[in-house]
């Protein structure tokens, strides 16, 4: 649920809304929305600064120049962000770290429950309460994020990427990739190759 306040631009007389969707991970493990309250609504004293950054961004062509503006915007957002959640408790941090370190392996709820020293049913429910998704959904999300980066920045065959992130069956990989990103791995790669030209 969002409450929007509409303001007209004093320069153009038109309404202007800008959204910034950020997919940033800290230490390649924790998403910003897992740590901070999102969305962030800018306080009035920071709005001009971010609007100026957006205006600068719209006139840039070079990726390096755009990235420097993105980092400036992220810095502002981190300065005003409010911590949302407590970090995972030690048991679940240990399990999550294990998943990040061993995502290529065939991991089961049984294996992960043993690491947490819990029964499978208790572990499953507690993990879902802690992270908002089942252990396998969490693991697949991690794998798909890594795969999406490989599709963007490498020319490895899709079947090799699937295997590299822990999917033995490239058809299953394609199916859940499409479920997550609404396009096939090949379409995703083609789209991002065009954007990176």
Instruction: Please identify, among 37, 70, 85, the residue that sits at the C-terminal boundary of a domain.
Output: 85
pLDDT at position 89, please? 80
85 in Cβ contact with 34 (< 8 Å): yes
Q: What percent of the chain is modeled with pLDDT above 70?
A: 77
50 in Cβ contact with 73 (< 8 Å): yes
Residues 23 and 115 grouped into a single domain? no
Residues 80 and 98 grouped into a single domain? no
pLDDT at position 172, please? 93
How far is residue 16's CA from residue 29's CA, in Å, rounded to a whole number?
Answer: 34
pLDDT at position 19, please? 67
Number of independent structural domains in the chain: 2
Adjacent-strand bridge partners of 15 = 8
Residues 20 and 56 grouped into a single domain? yes
Residues 23 and 118 grouped into a single domain? no
Residue range of the domain that includes 103: 90-195
How far is residue 22's CA from residue 24's CA, in Å, rounded to a whole number?
Answer: 6
CATH number at residue 190: 1.10.10.60
Instruction: Please identify, among 21, 53, 85, the residue that sits at the C-terminal boundary of a domain.
Output: 85
Residues 99 and 188 grouped into a single domain? yes
Residues 94 and 186 grouped into a single domain? yes
Angle at 60 between CA 54 and CA 65, to 5 degrees: 95
Residues 34 and 115 grouped into a single domain? no
Tens of pLDDT along 110-148? 999 999 999 999 999 999 888 888 999 999 988 998 998
Residues 66 and 136 grouped into a single domain? no
3-state class percentages of the chain: helix first, strand second, coil last, to nearest 5: 60, 5, 35
Residues 49 and 98 grouped into a single domain? no
Residues 26 and 118 grouped into a single domain? no
pLDDT at position 2, please? 46
pLDDT at position 29, please? 65
Phi-psi map region of 9: left, alpha, beta (phi>0 left; psi -120 to 50 alpha): beta
Residues 22 and 56 grouped into a single domain? yes
Residues 129 and 177 grouped into a single domain? yes
**Angle between helices 185-195 and 135-153 in degrees, nearest 10:** 40
Tens of pLDDT along 40-62? 677 777 878 888 888 887 788 88
């Amino acid at each position: 649920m969002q409450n929007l306040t509409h303001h007209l631009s004093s320069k153009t007389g038109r309404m202007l809304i800008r959204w910034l969707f950020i997919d940033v991970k800290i230490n390649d493990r924790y998403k910003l929305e897992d740590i901070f309250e999102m969305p962030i609504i800018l306080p009035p004293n920071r709005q001009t600064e971010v609007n100026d950054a957006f205006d600068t961004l719209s006139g840039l062509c070079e990726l390096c120049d755009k990235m420097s503006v993105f980092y400036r915007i992220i810095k502002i957002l981190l300065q005003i962000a409010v911590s949302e959640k407590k970090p995972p408790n030690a048991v679940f941090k240990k399990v999550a770290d294990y998943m990040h370190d061993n995502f290529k392996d065939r991991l089961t709820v049984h294996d992960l429950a043993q690491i947490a020293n819990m029964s499978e049913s208790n572990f499953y429910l507690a993990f879902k309460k802690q992270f908002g998704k089942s252990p396998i959904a969490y693991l697949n999300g991690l794998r798909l994020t890594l795969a999406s980066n490989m599709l963007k920045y490498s020319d490895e065959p899709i079947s090799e990427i699937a295997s590299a992130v822990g999917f033995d069956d490239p058809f299953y990989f394609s199916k859940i990739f499409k479920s997550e990103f609404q396009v096939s791995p090949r379409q995703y790669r083609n789209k991002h190759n065009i954007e990176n030209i």
